[in-house]
Structure 1
Amino acid sequence: MPLLDSKPISSLSIVGYHNMGENRKFGQIILPRMTTNKILHHQELHGDQSISDVSGIVDETLGKSPLDRQDTLKYRVFASTWNIGGIAPTDDLDLEDWLDTRANSYDIYVLGFQEIVPLNAVNVLGPSKRCISTKWNSLIGKALNKKKTRDGAQLQHTTTNSSAMESFGQEECFICIRSKQMVGIFTSVWVRSNLRLYIHHLDASCVGSGIMGYLGNKGSVSVRFLLHETSFCVVCCHLASGGKQGDVLLRNFDAADILARTRFHGGGGGNKKLPKKILDHDQVVLLGDLNYRISLEEPETRLLVKAKNWSTLLENDQLVSEFSTGRLFEGFQEGPVTFSPTYKYQPNSDQYYWCFEAARGEKKRAPAWCDRILWRGKGLKQIQYGTCDYKLSDHRPVRAGFIAECRIRGDAEDSIGGFMR
């Protein structure tokens, strides 16, 4: 099932929420497609050429003074978290369904992985194995930059081939602007190539909260960037595991520690001050294997899962409880959870790993919504939240769609579309 039930729309969308109900389809939120090959590169539209470039769309800001025009732009953001369970991807792993590239069009992809390598002593204490994260980036780039011809045949181009970029239209090319790995935690951020000019002050920060309170088997990898004048922070977390009483306090401590210890460079040059901490950013997406469990006995949890009684299970979900008490994640939101628990599955199957099936000496795990996506910030609106059917590991990936409203400079001409403000 596609993440968003809509037709692809533009990689650049001028603001215009006009009398929208909350239940309007995503495809109705943004103005229809505008070709960005020209309007993002300081080129004017002339005569007949304007017909093909704008596809007959008349922008309401044309002819208005700068003070009458909108000073924000909206972009579509795809966010996802996936615990891989230490399983290396195959060379032919197709990620198109996970990234929702066939059904929808996004401008920014923020992707967080956990356990891209097994969490053994060699990997935790030794240097990170970059070859695995490089392979994941290669598969992501392949999926994002795969297009179809009119007859359905697959076409591919790489982000480093300038002639291919010109052939397919630069707005169709995605590039990785930043990726960072700490042991098994890996964050990768991709954008349309025509947005790269407007992205600045990229930075990354890692916090280890695992063994002895600082090793990287648990913790976070965060990436910060500014798009136009709006600051984004993506936080990929892997919090303390365990279903015993009191383990929730360890997860709370890990989360608070990540929010407190994550630091970015604050110097912006001149009088500009950049956000240094996670919560200082305009918009934040916090995702990962947060490991919060269901506070019920395993047999009762199992029966409720079989009955698909999500409401009762969510009433006993530890993360929901932390939200309701206000002990943690103040200011964050989570979309409605309407999907099955994402953990723990038998790999390559739809079957949960029930307690009675555990081998001798193996940990017993009840199903839980361990994998979550939280968000906060003015101008950030979640439009979808769900999972998808990838069975590589004992976790299912969770993904979300957002509309992100970004400020553009008020004291200078922003070159997008040649419009002022």
Structure 2
Amino acid sequence: MCRVEMPVPDPSSRVYIMTWNVVCRGPIEDLRCALGLEPPVIPEALPDMYAIGFQEVSARPQHLLSQAFFEEPWIQAIRNALHKYSYVKHVRLQGLILAIFTKREHLIQLRGIQSTYTRTGLGGVWGNKGGVTIRLCVYGCSMCFVNSHLAAHESETFQRICEYNTIIEKQRFVDSQATNILTHDYTFWFGDLNFRVDDCTMEEMKASIENNTYEQMLQKDQLNRVRNKGEAFHEFTEQEITFPPTYKFQIDRMGYNFSHRKPAWTDRVLFRYTKNAYENVTLDLKPHQYVSHDLYIQSDHKPVSAFFTLKVNPRHTGLGVIGACLVAALFLGVQHFCLHLPQVFAKPEQPIIHFIPVETWIINQDSFAWYYTTSDTELKSWDWIGLYRASGNSLCLR
């Protein structure tokens, strides 16, 4: 039996969130700064995972048609910026896009990757507003990422509250432990939430921005108010805002556009985690950074990013060989291949999948890989086996 040594992962995982309303324009500016990759880059401090959300990506028919043949330009731009990371998945709802990337060494530890979306525009018929979600498990911990674009305009606070609750109520997942957004171990909700600032004149806002004094404006921020009242997002936490309002700016120029809209913190990143989800461990989340990236000028919004460290299971290797070790099992004669998916921090048990070694492979001829399961194993439609190139950099099957 061949033994494949796997490195013990760090007990923490670094997650980087970035959100940007790109006002129907393609990628023009270098994204590395918004992704925390401006030089000098310290490899040891790089995120383990990226969750990137865009709003108002062009959804014109000609653009959607071109994507039948070419990759969405914003996804390609992220791939180029994160060329050392592996693409996991993305989901799109008209102008909303959410994409997940991870370091290559973590690919084999991902489980239960699912995506869904909820339309909230025009009473749930139109997808110009809504939420897109990707959930997955990493080292035994469940994570959920929600990118949303809620109703616009200062007077539509109640509509935004309704849209939040609609997304919460409608989105469901095929997972016995985390069936909805709020039941995951870690949940991140971000995007153009479109909450504005009440009871502030334009002159008061200009003075606050010029003096970098945002306390009074933030006290009148609609999102803070609805959270305090328990009307929406009260289940989530937000880091302290120390950056200026991220909307509305002049496009392709520095400075706010005060002619039509009051400045506001429309672009936000919120988070929650279930500290005592398990009997034998206490989960933890530490926020480290919450900033806007003011040098970007191609949109009337500024990108916003947040950086977190999460506690994960250092011993949860379980299926730790799903891609590369499957090849090892077939070619090196490994007779047992562990497909056990324990709860976070649970003790690993015996393998439930057994591969029968392949004696001979013949080039250019079809071959079969036979396996059998333990008697108490229940196979489901979501179960699958993937074969990947040894140099592969994506979970997409080839």
Q: Aligned residues: percent identity?
A: 29
Is the helix fraction higher in 1 or 2? 1
- Report deviation, 1:281: 0.6
Alignment partner of 2:95 out of 184, 201, 208: 184
Alignment partner of 1:111 out of 27, 35, 52: 52
Change (3 A) 1:346 1:130: farther
| 1:366 is the counterpart of 2:366 | no
Aligned residues: 304
The answer to whether the 8 Å contact 2:129/2:151 transfers is: yes
- Report deviation, 1:134: 2.2
- Report deviation, 1:315: 1.1
Change (3 A) 1:130 1:96: farther
Alignment partner of 2:126 out of 215, 233, 246: 215
- Point out the more displaced range, 96-105 or 174-183: 96-105
Q: Which residue of the partner structure matches residue 163 of structure 1?
A: none
Query: Equivalents in 1 of 2:6, 2:161: separation in Å?
Result: 51
Secondary structure, aligned partner of 1:354: coil
Alignment partner of 2:170 out of 226, 244, 261: 261
| TM-score when normalising by structure 2 | 0.70
Q: Deviations over 1:126-183 (max 9, x none)?
A: 87956786221221121122xxxxxxxxxxxxxxxxxxxxxxxxxxx31110101110
Q: Which residue of the partner structure matches residue 372 of structure 2?
A: none
Give the alignment's Cα RMSD to 1 decimal: 2.7
- Report deviation, 1:408: 5.2
Q: Deviations over 1:258-290 (max 9, x none)?
A: 111112223xxxxxx241210011100100000
Query: Equivalents in 1 of 2:87, 2:317: separation in Å?
Result: 30
The answer to whether the 8 Å contact 1:117/1:132 transfers is: no
The answer to whether the 8 Å contact 2:119/2:130 transfers is: yes
Q: Deviations over 1:227-281 (max 9, x none)?
A: 021000000000000112xx11111111111111112223xxxxxx241210011
Query: Equivalents in 1 of 2:219, 2:153: separation in Å?
Result: 19
Alignment partner of 1:228 out of 125, 139, 144: 139
The answer to whether the 8 Å contact 2:132/2:147 transfers is: yes
Q: Which residue of the partner structure matches residue 116 of structure 2?
A: 205
Query: Equivalents in 2 of 1:175, 1:290: separation in Å?
Result: 28
Query: Equivalents in 2 of 1:398, 1:176: separation in Å?
Result: 21
Query: Equivalents in 1 of 2:235, 2:36: separation in Å?
Result: 28
The unaligned stretches of length 5 or more in structure 1 are 1-40, 45-60, 62-70, 146-172, 267-272, 356-363
Amino acid at match of 2:213: N
Secondary structure, aligned partner of 2:123: helix
Amino acid at match of 1:385: Y
Query: Equivalents in 1 of 2:308, 2:186: separation in Å?
Result: 11
- Report deviation, 1:220: 0.5
Q: Deviations over 1:168-215 (max 9, x none)?
A: xxxxx3111010111000000000111000001100010000123331
Change (3 A) 1:255 1:207: same
| 1:381 is the counterpart of 2:286 | yes
The 5 A counterparts of 1:162-173 are 173=84
Query: Equivalents in 1 of 2:213, 2:46: separation in Å?
Result: 33
Secondary structure, aligned partner of 1:251: helix
The 5 A counterparts of 1:315-330 are 315-330=219-234
Secondary structure, aligned partner of 1:346: coil
Change (3 A) 1:205 1:194: same
Q: Which residue of the partner structure matches residue 154 of structure 1?
A: none
The unaligned stretches of length 5 or more in structure 2 are 276-283, 322-346, 349-398
- Point out the more displaced range, 127-136 or 102-111: 127-136
Q: Which residue of the partner structure matches residue 77 of structure 2?
A: 139
Q: Which residue of the partner structure matches residue 106 of structure 2?
A: 195
Query: Equivalents in 1 of 2:246, 2:253: separation in Å?
Result: 13
Q: Which residue of the partner structure matches residue 289 of structure 1?
A: 192
Query: Equivalents in 1 of 2:217, 2:308: separation in Å?
Result: 26
| 1:251 is the counterpart of 2:160 | yes
- Point out the more displaced range, 324-333 or 389-398: 324-333
Secondary structure, aligned partner of 2:270: strand
The answer to whether the 8 Å contact 2:151/2:160 transfers is: yes
| 1:95 is the counterpart of 2:31 | yes
